[in-house]
Structure 1
């Protein structure tokens, strides 16, 4: 290839690569400054501190931080639902003293510097204070290389200015500016050289924070040892500032507790294998858990969750493919309180068979969980605390699949399922009592021509209502009421066959499938995945209101809940008694499906036509690429701070970071990702996958000069042919060079320090780096943390994100490895004779450290 595009370098002729073109040798590893892995360079580019005059600065989409004269100043940012950024007042943080109980003063010094990993280190006498910028805030650590002089308790005092103290919770101390935004100063962890961790409480004492390590613990610890809390921006007490998670979320389910909803889904933010996450949302659609609720992050893959509200708590169940490389699943379950606290319930009636397709319905404080057990239908009754043994609903040679379940107010249940050969399966029903016993014989709900499958079920106050897909004349939706005695109430004549169960709900062109149903007194809302507009928007989410009084009939016309580009799939809907809330898997961000949602009124009005993102958390930076132009090195990456990733960059010269904040290369609509970069004529040339056309992925590119100026605003089209063009590779006019390192996370935003806060307290001290580990590369000498003490193992984020997955049930051939780790030990208190004892969560409120 003579040149990739004329504007890349003026299209020099072969053998005459003009100017200072320096093609990169594709056989050698790329470095910027000191020899470091490209992943660490990419991480530092978006999170690391950089020198700016007499200050060190860093930031993230939720905060800015400046360190000067020993004072750390943090400014919180928050994004409204409309994407507007608001800025809060600054918080000043300074180490005020390090003391032993006998009066020994261990403080002193204030010389500051940056470490190769991008942290700021401030020498504080016997300790080194280390400030590390993270996605969720700042980690402030004091590292003691040796046992400190003196006797008794070891106390670190932290002075606070700029914001007022507003309260203390289990997650830490909370500070707030006059505009409402603020920060949470977490409780700390004492980590010794043997890898043991102990939670240490931070307390507010008049005008400062005190963090006290008991003297007995200091005496027993192996050194070096570290004390490290975190400081995170929040919009209200224990309400962190977050954005879109940037990773795949899929297969949502939803339930209502009388006040709020709980949405659950399968999520890949921690690794390429799915975990079950959730969030509570208000009836107005406000996200109440911006960082999400981790319901399970066990080894293996957790898929297809289901949820119901049982009296005082939610019950969630899912498929658990727990064996690496295996195909056998059990059903996992957990309780979730209305406050979002999770209690694991283990596996429900596990067996050697493959257990999939869980569905759950609740009545009062009880619930019935049903699933497919290798072609038979099984059930288990939840009594408010635990599940019973398996109940055999079907046990004959005929295959049964696709179970659905609904509950009536008396605590009884109807299970609907598909039975028979795939091409001609009928829809069958079975009643189950409140005691969990099968009631009467199974009965036929519909034996129409073709296949009846994928049922959904609810209760309208008088009867059960069941809807399903039928493929006899296209893929259409049918439904019927079923009495509590098991009588099918709505039938049709099919050809010359009378009394075929079910009446038509939707028979539009193309396919109507994967329906979800929710009913209130005398009425229902059914939502489904619809392909009638496949040529323009792909699959959409359609809905229909139903009347159930006297007969099952459509109420008004079908309407669209979401018809965004690139497809919406697998809806789930529930009711608060008067209106409805629908959630679905949305493909508008090409390559990464995301759970969206919207309210729907009883009249069929969609309250959020553009949809609301349900899967929020820390933004993600992925697929970094590294290039060099002369003495300047630049890293480019895909950044998800806005919905749909953009291309951003930052520059280095040797070991120094040149850019105060990231430079946007492309912020076009939809997804830009997978950049590749080379250099020519003193400029960088970066190309990437681009979905701005709204249908296919194209290749776009842009030149950026060594000063960081974008020479091709917005990027120029390189290939917009029909179909997808993927994984761009850039080349200089001599020989090719491609960089495709592993995935990282982070983001950038910067601010100047406040003179008022800098002047509020005199300067005092300086540090040295706590170590960090990122994708197998370790810097510094911090003792290895006990992963379970921090709530979970460090997330596996070192591989390219999985692309959008098919709607079909995924094969369970790829599993997450074990996350087990040695049990951590917790300081049990100051009581005489107390000893260390094990704890399973030394700091549940903190994010896993890198």
Structure 2
């Protein structure tokens, strides 16, 4: 009887995506409907790490509050709805924008129907709409403006027609100043260009904003003059005060905040104590530098202010009280109601960055709290209009589910013993410390569950590479055990069964100077490792041979390239009589070419003049090379077009002659294609690369190339959401093509991980993609179980409505071996079965198969592995 292994990760990806309300068009219509991706290692460890949630902002939305903050666990803006009674509705938090950009400094406002959130990334100001149910309406974010200056939060208000957002960015003189833009409730940018609010040639930062019925008042710090300035802007975006309003006579006021009471603005700021200035709608300062809170000149306290139809509430951090959050009410004339203030919270540990909002009756105050003593979280409390605190204890708003992270895996490499594959990678054993692990994967995709601990010596081991010599694998890597700031090269042999033969590692190169960019090959007896070496003061290409028994043959290394411009990024392939070593040479900044030489199995450099492989304009980088039994094919990333990197190639014969002068193009898709990897399967070359044709997040694409340099096929290895990086490809002796890469994943099964894992994929990659513009029918199916009983594979599938079902099975070559149709099935539970026979009624053999279930315009896909 055959046993069946089913890839539940594979099932989970499709079930979770198709169960969601997201449609394919939001994924650029480039979702692979059938693929055979799987994790190499599903184990994970917890690594202690402090994750802060910080800088809260809150808005009132008629029925609920909505709070947002920066979550440093994954550098995202998170949020939650809070009822008017202080109940948290989204206890796990809402990710405001899932894209991979680092996000911080947010603000939020409400337009009567939806909330709008703005935030910064390193290069842009983004926004998104969120409805009152907490649904993010623009999940990829709205790009409001590019940024060249990264500091200070934006500020946002709604004026009844449009939102107005202000922020700090560099002006044409590269000096920080204040800009703004209007955004309509549909998320469209109203202004054709950003509005420069501060026209002074100075250093303006940290803006705050309020709407005053017919105009906005924008206030900010002027660092050059150590002053507090402001200007009014009307609702059409016209700056009304070209000569800025001077808001304080004090030297160096900080952290302004502003609110409007229906008649005047109250601008408050931090000057050891909390001061304020009243400003009317004509821009006239009525009262300046009112001392509203007396804290005896304590350090920065980050005050905030809100108006609730009767009076202002000022909140602040009080260092004198032990870092508590306090409040003071002030009337519309600037008279302090609570001369001694009142305590909102003063529980253990520090509290900073308070923020306040009113529902027109009570106030909700949020702050950043070190209550756990481990990391910062967001807490809050409500107070009534009389200043009474309504909750005890304080309300916890944000939850760091654990002060731990899941270990990251990256930089995979693989080689084959002819049948099975050895996959090696970096694995984060402790915070930011990486060691090397590996796994044996057979040609059917079955992973040995015992992962191999390759090297766990002191400090990190990085960038592993591997080759097979006919008897054992050699894994080599950059090793920091001797010099924490400079890598040596170590290696170990691993048997085909996964046994580490040199447990302490072999020191391949431990001389002075940094060693980087390691690659390895074999002449079927010995190994040869090459790298970029800085021992001479410039980067040169060095190599060293090891015997099959792991004995280092070249104690001082072999100098393969000679003094001159820096040479790095080598690769190496055995060509039957000699090795071909290729590398990048830097002629000037941004100008790189590809060169190479042949090296004999005895370690002799054959082409002392070097082979000029590509000397085109701009940059050619990261070469990779493979041999087809007659010639080599060298591929690289190439920027000779002047804009994006493309993939080029060139054949070289075993005598070192260039067969394709100038090279030939293998991919010129939009965006960058970088980091190519190449292997030969006995008939064709297969190469893959990191690809950015779909945007800022990396995918893995590839082509199949004949030995004469013709493209036979192109394919998508993986174009999932998030990044897939650093692909490595290898073909075994039977022609099987296997690709591994680092893939950012949200989940392993039901475990949320939010980190990089090593994934694998076999050719053919079954790149059946949806036609542009097609949206699937939302069939809310549920997979109840998948198993094998007797000689039948079955899936129990629950459908809520009637639909036609088509069940297909494919073998590894992509050949359809089963096609069953179930007409007008459902509602209810349906039993989809396969009798493990092909279309000729012949029982299939052991190995890996892929199924696809079509439900109208929706598809479920998965993997089946039959073992003895």
- TM-score normalised over the length of structure 1: 0.42
- TM-score normalised over the length of structure 2: 0.42
Between Structure 1 and Structure 2, the one with more strand by share is 2
Give the number of the structure with larger relative contact order, counting CA–CA contacts within 8 Å between residues 6 or more apart: 1
